[in-house]
Amino acid sequence: MGRVSMTAERSTGWITGCAVLFLLGALLLPWIGPSAVDIQRVFAKAAPDYSIFVQLRITRTLLGLLVGGSLALTGGLFQAMLRDSLATPYTLGVSAGAALGAVTTLALDLDSVLGVPALWIGATVGAGVVLAMVAGASWKSGHISGVRLLLTGISLNSICSAFILLIYGVVRERRSFSITQWLLGSIDSVSYSALGVFAVAVVVSSIVLFRQARAWNLIAVGEFWAASRGVDLQRVMLTGYICGSILTAGAIALSGPIGFVGLVVPHLVRSRISADNRLLLPCSFLLGGVLLAACDTVGRIVLAPAELPAGAVMAVIGGPYLIWVVRRRF
Amino acid sequence: MTDLLDASDIAFAYGPNVILESAGFSARGGEFVALLGLNGAGKSTLLDILAGLRAAQSGSVRIDGRTLSQWSARERAQIISHLPQGIRGELPFTVEQIVLMGRYAYADEWFESDEDRRQATEAMDRMQCLGYRHRQYHTLSGGERQRVLLAACLAQQPKILLFDEPSTYLDVQQQLQCFSTLAAIALSGALCIAVTHDLNLALAHCTRLLILHRGKIAADTAVTEAARDPKWLSLLTEGMRLVETPEGRPWVVYR
């Protein structure tokens, strides 16, 4: 591991490998589910197989791939940006902030503002505000303190959760039902148009971040280290904050708060493939997508006909992994 | 001829704590300057300001006659390299990856060019870390790490090198090696400025001593003159005095 230097051939190999897995996930996972879907009937557009496949399975798989990818990529990004191996959208409270923003819009029964779903706007604002607060509160004489970062993140997480409960308590029954459903962190029913808008946001943010991968390598090692090697720190960090907030908020708005994928995947990639963000960021995206989509598939078959939300399956895998990371680190 | 580096009237405060009041000096290529001072005198802060990492509240820094704030981050990195006291080392980066980071300011591509690799190899060779280029940084000893960071700075091909306590954590042998390398870099025409607490190390290798005291450069002396005017030493401590080695070099000993 890490014995071969970063070369075009080596990284192309890894990224191609991960992309193949991603495509395989996209092609195979929609066929797996509680009710069997017949491939010939789907191509003949016969009911009910065709509608199950097109309206449920494909959208769910695509959403899982995009949400998992976004959260894993953001995890890798935050770990470089804040130089802390436990920084993820979830542990920093950014997910909770997005959730609070989203729940607020659900409670107010807002539908859309200027054509954009209000839920997305609420989530983006919530994520951005929490991220700014976490980074601001853990800033201490020129650098970000890891302990402060996590403690602030945990506190903000609790505060946001408390406000979500508060809102939940005061709204009427009909709305509290939609809130509950959303909070479970499942990735079922979503429209193709919402998926399309999210996909565009994900692709644009990811490309922006991948292009900065070398700068993120230097920032991961040290802010002054990066600045003195020629990284335009303010510009790169600002881009990171904006892209990180958009990715987290989009993922959370469409799927509810899902944790751990942002922790498990970047750590796995860092220790098994490379710490170089030119590999780490794209591979995290591709593998995170596959992992969450696979978790969702597992969730819909293990207790069939009942469904386990993808977030719950992810937590069952991610929880023990976090404990293992903490044991190795402290 | 304009000075390579010219700092004048630098002032800096952390809130109400005034660190630098009106610090200033100028220096040329080929000099190896030791920046001395008591703890909290503002040595690291001054170095950060010279490197463009912090903005002074007043005063100016000129590089090659041009104000530092007018340089872009990338242009600046091609002239000045700053070695911080430590980096976050537990990430599984290899030695070669760290040294190649020194080439960031020259790269437009997503991958390093052949020229970047050549420069990095040359720098690793010079700092004697080529033999362990594929090892992970966090598995190295303190001395090995320092050589890697120095190699990254050299790969940057700077004209000005600023070192914040480069000999910390090094054993005696490695301290000597570190300072003689810096002296050699200065001899090849670059300006080296190193913060250090080791007076004899500075006297043996540097060409000039700057003493930062109460927010100002309170003493500025060539090492060859250091024995004649011991005022600089009294700014640091009363517990030491200057003697002369049999070779005629200044040396400090405990009273």
pLDDT tens, B99-129?
Answer: 999 999 998 778 889 999 999 999 999 888 9
Say whether both B167 and B245 belong to one domain.
Answer: yes
Residues of B in contact with A213 (CB under 8 A): 110
| Residue/partner pairs of B15-18 with CB below 8 Å, 24 or more apart | B18/B215
- A107 Cβ contact list (under 8 Å, min separation 6): A167, A170, A171, A175, A179
Cα B201 to Cα B220: distance, rounded to the nearest angstrom: 17
Domain boundary among B136, B157, B178: B157
Higher pLDDT, A190 or A211: A211
Burial of B43-72, coded b for 16+ CB within 10 Å and e otherwise, reads bbbbbbbbbbbbebeebebbbeeeebeebe
- B31 Cβ contact list (under 8 Å, min separation 6): B186, B191, B192, B207, B208
Higher pLDDT, B57 or B247: B57
Say whether both B73 and B174 belong to one domain.
Answer: yes
For residue A124, what is the enclosing H or E element?
helix A118-137
Say whether both B190 and B222 belong to one domain.
Answer: yes
The tally of CA atoms less than 13 A away on the side-chain side of residue A215 is 22
- Of A114-123, A232-241, B151-160, B238-247, the one with minimum mean pLDDT is A114-123
Residues of B in contact with A227 (CB under 8 A): 52-53, 73
CB pair distance less than 8 Å for A218 and B104? yes
| Mean predicted confidence (pLDDT) in A282-296 | 95
Amino acid at B38: L
Residues in chain B: 255
Domain boundary among B109, B142, B157: B157
| Mean predicted confidence (pLDDT) in B154-172 | 91
Q: Going from the N-terminus, what domains does chain A have, and what CATH number goes with each?
A: 8-329 (1.10.3470.10)
Higher pLDDT, A144 or B222: B222
| Mean predicted confidence (pLDDT) in B44-50 | 95
CA B81 vs CA B36, B48, B101, B246: distances in Å: 19, 11, 12, 37
- Of A180-189, A255-264, A271-280, the one with minimum mean pLDDT is A180-189
CA B5 vs CA A225, B34, B49: distances in Å: 21, 15, 12
pLDDT of residue A2: 38
Say whether both B223 and B193 belong to one domain.
Answer: yes
For residue A36, which phi and psi values (nearest 5 degrees)? Answer: -70, 140
Residue B10 bridge partners (DSSP): B23
pLDDT exceeds cutoff 80 at A4? no
pLDDT exceeds cutoff 60 at A185? no
pLDDT of residue A292: 94
Say whether both B225 and B182 belong to one domain.
Answer: yes
Say whether both B168 and B72 belong to one domain.
Answer: yes
Say whether both B18 and B54 belong to one domain.
Answer: yes
Cα A145 to Cα A240: distance, rounded to the nearest angstrom: 18
A325 touches chain B (CB under 8 A): no
pLDDT exceeds cutoff 90 at B196? yes
Distance from CA of A5 to the nearest CA of B (A): 7
Q: Are A97 and A156 in contact (CB under 8 A)?
A: yes
pLDDT of residue A3: 39
Nearest to A91 by CA among A280, A320, A322: A322
pLDDT exceeds cutoff 80 at A257? no
| Mean predicted confidence (pLDDT) in B214-235 | 92
Residue A142 — pLDDT band, cuts 50, 70, 90?
Answer: low
Question: Per the structure, how many domains does chain B have?
Answer: 2
| Mean predicted confidence (pLDDT) in B52-68 | 93
Say whether both B249 and B181 belong to one domain.
Answer: yes
Residue A191 — pLDDT band, cuts 50, 70, 90?
Answer: confident
- The ipTM is 0.91
For residue A295, what is the enclosing H or E element?
helix A277-301
Say whether both B33 and B70 belong to one domain.
Answer: yes
Say whether both B164 and B247 belong to one domain.
Answer: yes
Say whether both B165 and B71 belong to one domain.
Answer: yes
* Structural domain boundaries, residue B131: 88-157
CB pair distance less than 8 Å for B77 and A230? yes
Determine what percent of chain A is predicted with pLDDT higher than 90: 36
Taking the mean position of all CA atoms in its chain, how far away is CA B124? 18
pLDDT of residue A43: 86
pLDDT exceeds cutoff 90 at B229? no
Taking the mean position of all CA atoms in its chain, how far away is CA A253? 11
Amino acid at A64: G
Interface test with A, best of B87, B106, B139 (most A CBs within 10 A): B87
Q: Is B154 exposed, middle or buried (0-12, 13-18, 19+ CB in 10 A)?
A: buried
| Mean predicted confidence (pLDDT) in B189-208 | 95
Distance from CA of A217 to the nearest CA of B (A): 8
| Mean predicted confidence (pLDDT) in A154-181 | 84
In terms of average pLDDT, the best of A235-239, A297-301, B14-18, B20-24 is B20-24
CB pair distance less than 8 Å for B53 and A218? no
Determine what percent of chain B is predicted with pLDDT higher than 90: 73
Residue A1 — pLDDT band, cuts 50, 70, 90?
Answer: very low
Alpha-helix residue ranges (DSSP H) falling in A142-276: 146-170, 173-183, 192-211, 213-221, 223-228, 233-255, 261-272
For residue B140, which phi and psi values (nearest 5 degrees)? Answer: -85, 160
